[in-house]
Structures are given as C-alpha cells and as structure tokens.
C-alpha cells in the first residue's frame, strides 16, 4: 500500500499543475511542455537511480546535488519568467495553499516507509519531522484566505515558517543517510530506488514549488496594490 501511495500521490501532484493551467486558461502548448518536461524529469530520475551513482553515500551527498538542488534551481527559474507571472495573477491565493495539504499524505507515506524498515524514525512525525503540521495548517490558512480573514503578511509568514519546517525535514533525511551509521545498507539503497526516490525528486519539489508560487503571488499582489 505504501509503494502504491508514493506513485499515486506523485501522479496527483502532477495533475495539480494541469488544474492550475485550466484555471488560467493557459494555451495548449503549456500542457504539452509541462507533460514532456515532467516525463523527461522522471526519465532522468529513473536513469540516475539505476546507474548506481546515488548508491554512494559518502560526501558530497549525491542525491541532494543531483536531484534536489537542480529541481530547486529550475523551480526558481520557471516561476520568475514573465509568462508564468502572468499566469499566477489568475490563480486565487487560497488555491495554492489548499494544495499544500497533500503533505499530510506525504507524512503518512513516510511513516509507512518507516514501518516497512526503509526510512529512519527521526525522519517521521515521531522524530524531528513536523511537516504534517504544515499540511494541516494549509487547510486552515487557505480557508481563512478564502474568507478574507487574513492578509498577505500572514500568508507570507506562513510560507516562510513552512519552508523552515520543510528544511528541518530535509535535514532529518540528509543527516540520517549521509552523516550517521545507524542505517543499514539495504535501507539506504531502498531510499534511492523507486518508488521511495519519488519523495526527494517529485513530492519535495512540488512542496517547494507551491511555496515559491505563493510567495511570488504575494509579491505581485503587493506591487499591483501599490501601483493602483
């Protein structure tokens, strides 16, 4: 069930972007480019996972360098383009925040992987991973935004705090796999294989992506307010 869950949640997050395109009435070419880009990313992840490059857990940490950092760089680049900024203006602020509730599912998958002996306990909500609070709070914050009960400053603070919590979660994984010896070799190797590798290569980037989109929305809204 946990294995299927990683595939299913990754697929759901993939289609959330199509939903956003639909909200903005984006041209058909955006759907095609996004679909092809995502398939190429999955192909890259599959190849690099099968190559054995990631199976070396000595420093420098290869998985963050070859997967997480490139994903973050691409997210910052794509969300900074003029075309994407125009699309973001047509997306309600609360929609992006609601999507972040997917992290509740992520945390239960992480816990399930821990039960299966793959992930370390410190990377779950029983350890130092508090990301489930972000998923729960996303539902509350999004509802308040939808009802116009909180302003842009509160949304910005929520995004910053949530990113900080996500950083602690990433640290929990990196420190467990690269800076400790309490994990067995088979546990480390399982993490860089499908479907567990979807956590750092797909689910984590989507969490970062929607935070960046939300923050950029707030910046654009502030500029438009000042201009008017």
Give tens-digit pLDDT for 169-227: 999 998 888 877 666 777 778 888 999 999 999 999 999 999 999 999 998 887 776 76
Are the beta carbons of 3 and 16 closer than 8 angstroms? no
CA distance 172 to 121: 9
Q: Nearest-CA neighbor of 189 among 63, 2, 39?
A: 63
Q: Nearest-CA neighbor of 178 among 196, 192, 198?
A: 192
Count of other CB atoms within 10 angstroms of residue 53: 13
**How far is the CA of 208 from the CAs of 2, 109, 189, in angstroms?**
23, 18, 25
pTM for the whole thing? Answer: 0.93
Q: Please say whether the dihedral angle defined by the alpha carbons of residues 67, 72, 78 and 81, taken in this order, is positive or negative.
A: negative
**How far is the CA of 116 from the CAs of 55, 78, 204, in angstroms?**
20, 36, 21
Write out residues in the chain with pLDDT < 70, as ranges. Answer: 181-183, 225, 227-228
**What is residue 228's predicted lDDT score, i.e. its pLDDT?**
63
């Amino acid at each position: 069930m946990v294995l299927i869950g990683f595939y299913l949640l990754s697929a759901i997050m993939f289609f959330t972007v199509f939903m956003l395109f639909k909200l903005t009435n984006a041209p058909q070419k955006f759907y095609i480019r996004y679909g092809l880009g995502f398939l190429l990313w999955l192909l890259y992840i599959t190849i690099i996972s099968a190559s054995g490059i990631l199976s070396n857990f000595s420093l420098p940490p290869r998985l963050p360098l070859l997967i997480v950092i490139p994903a973050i760089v691409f997210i910052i680049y794509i969300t900074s383009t003029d075309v994407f900024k125009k699309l973001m203006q047509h997306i309600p602020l609360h929609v992006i925040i609601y999507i972040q509730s997917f992290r509740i599912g992520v945390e239960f998958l992480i816990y399930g992987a821990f039960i299966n002996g793959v992930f370390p306990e410190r990377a779950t909500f029983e350890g130092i991973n508090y990301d489930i609070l972000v998923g729960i709070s996303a539902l509350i914050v999004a509802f308040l935004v939808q009802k116009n009960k909180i302003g842009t400053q509160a949304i910005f603070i929520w995004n910053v705090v949530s990113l900080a919590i996500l950083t602690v979660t990433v640290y929990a994984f990196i420190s467990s796999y690269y800076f400790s010896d309490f994990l067995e070799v088979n546990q480390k190797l399982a993490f860089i294989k499908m479907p567990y590798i979807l956590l750092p290569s797909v689910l984590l980037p989507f969490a970062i992506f929607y935070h960046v989109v939300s923050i950029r929305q707030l910046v654009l809204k502030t500029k438009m307010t000042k201009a008017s």
